[in-house]
A and B are shown apart, each in its own frame.
Chain A
Amino acid sequence: METSFALTGKGYVIIAADTTAARSIVKMKVDEDKIKELSSHLLMSYSGEPGDTIQFAEYVERNIRLYQIRNLYPLRPAAAAAWIRRSLAESLRSRHPYSVNLLLGGYDIADHKPNLYWIDYLGTVVELPFAAHGYGSYFALSLLDRYHNPEASLEEGLATLKRCIEEVAKRLIVSPDRFKVKVVDKDGTREVEL
C-alpha cells in the first residue's frame, strides 16, 4: 500500500515515499519516483489515484516553474502550499476531482526555516513538524510523536525515518519494500540513500 513520511529537523525537511506502482494486487513497478522537485528548495511527494497523481503533480510542477519564470523568484513554501490547496479545493467541487494526497516540504530561503505541509485530496492543509500519508501513517505518527526532535541533525533525522520504515515493514501486511528519500535544506534538494 502507498505510504509516505516526512519530518523536519534543524534546518532541513526529509521526505520519503515508497517506490511501488501497483495495479490492484499486482506490483507493476518497484522503482517509481513519487517525490517531485518543484523548485530549488521545494519537494512534493504525491500519492492517491493512479493517473490523477502524475497529472496533478505535473500541473503543479509546471505552474510553480511558470511563476518563477514570470517573476524571477520562486514561490516560498507557504505560498506554494496555499496555491496547491486552492487548486485541490476548487477541483474537489468540480465534475472530476483529483484524488491526490501530498506532502510539501520546503526550505524558506528568506527566513531560513524548514516548512512541512500535510495536504489531502480535499484541500485540507496543515503545517506540521512531521507527517505521513497512507496506511503507514497509523504506525509512523505514534513513533514520530515519541522520537521526533525538531533540533535533530540530519543523521538523527534519517535514523528516526529508518525507525518508521522498519516499523511499517514489520507491522503492515502489504508493506512496501523500498523507499526513496529526499532532503531539502539551505543547499537545495537532493536524494539520499538510507
Chain B
Amino acid sequence: MSVMEYNGGSVIAMVGKDCVAIASDLRLGNQALGITSNFQRVFPVTNRLYIGLPGLGTDVTTLRERFRYRVNMYTIKEERDIQPETFAHLVSSTLYEHRFGPYFIEPVIAGLSKAPSGGFKPFIAATDLIGCLNFAKDFVVAGTASAKLFGVAEGLWEPDLEPEDLFETISQTLLNAVDRDAFSGWGAVVHVITKDQVVTRTLKGRMD
C-alpha cells in the first residue's frame, strides 16, 4: 500500500496556441472503494492560473489552504497578481520545506504569464512531492494514471492547438487514460485558460 495511491486521482495540463488547459478526474476513494465522484483537486490561483493537486486527499485540502493563504499574502504585499513562474517556485519551496516529512502531492500548474510585449505566454509545470520543478513545453501529467496519461498524450498532442481543439485533445487524453486506471476516473473536469476567459467543463466518464 502506497500513500500516493491511497485516494487515487490524476491531473494533466497541456499547452496550446495562446492557451493552456488543465484537467483532472473527480474520484476520491479509499484504495479500491470509491467514496465520492465529485472531489475537486484543481483550484484557481488567479484569473489566469490554476493548480492541480493529485495525491493524498487530506494533503489536497491542506495544500490548497496553504497556497491560498500564501498567494493572498503575496497579492496584498505586492499589490498585483502572482505570475505563474513565481507561483511555481512558491509551490516548489513550500514542498521542499517538508523535505523529510513531505506532503504526498505532485502538483501540476497551468496558466498564462504576462510577456514583456504585453501579451500572454502559456506556462505549464509540475513538481514531485518534494518540489523538484519540471517545466515542459508540451504537457505534464501526475497521479495514479500518470503512466497511461504519458502514453495517450504522446499520441494525441500536437503543437499550436486552438482552445477548442486543445479542449478535445486534453479531454480525450484524460478520459482514455483513466479508463485503464482503477484508482482514477468517475467523471472529469477540464479548464481551458485563454487570455480573456477560462472555460470550465465537467465531463461524464465511465462509472466502473
Interface residue tally on B, bucketed by range: 10 to 19
- Name A's interface SS: mixed
How far apart are the CA atoms of A125 and B58 in the complex, in Å? 7
Chain B residues with CB below 8 A from A123, complex form: 58, 61-62
Output the least CB separation between A20 and chain B (Å). Answer: 22
A137 touches B61 (CB 8 A): no
Chain A residues with CB below 8 A from B7, complex form: 124
Interface residue tally on A, bucketed by range: 10 to 19
B7-39 Cβ-contact flags toward A at 8 Å (1 or 0): 100000000000000000000101001111001
| Interchain CB contact (< 8 A) of A89 among B28, B33, B35, B58 | B58
Task: Given A93-B101, A141-B33, check contact A122 B61 (CB 8 Å).
Answer: no
B101 touches A126 (CB 8 A): no
Chain A residues within 8 Å of B, Cβ to Cβ: 85, 88-89, 92-93, 118, 120, 122-126, 128, 131, 137-138, 141
Known contacts A124-B56, A124-B61, A141-B33; 5 additional CB pairs below 8 A are A85-B61, A89-B61, A118-B35, A122-B58, A137-B33
Closest 4 CB pairs of A and B: A124-B57, A123-B58, A122-B58, A126-B36
Chain B residues within 8 Å of A, Cβ to Cβ: 7, 28, 30, 33-36, 39, 56-58, 61-62, 101
Q: Pull 7 A–B residue pairs with CB atoms less than 8 Å apart, ordered by A.
A: A88-B58, A118-B36, A122-B56, A122-B58, A123-B58, A124-B57, A125-B61
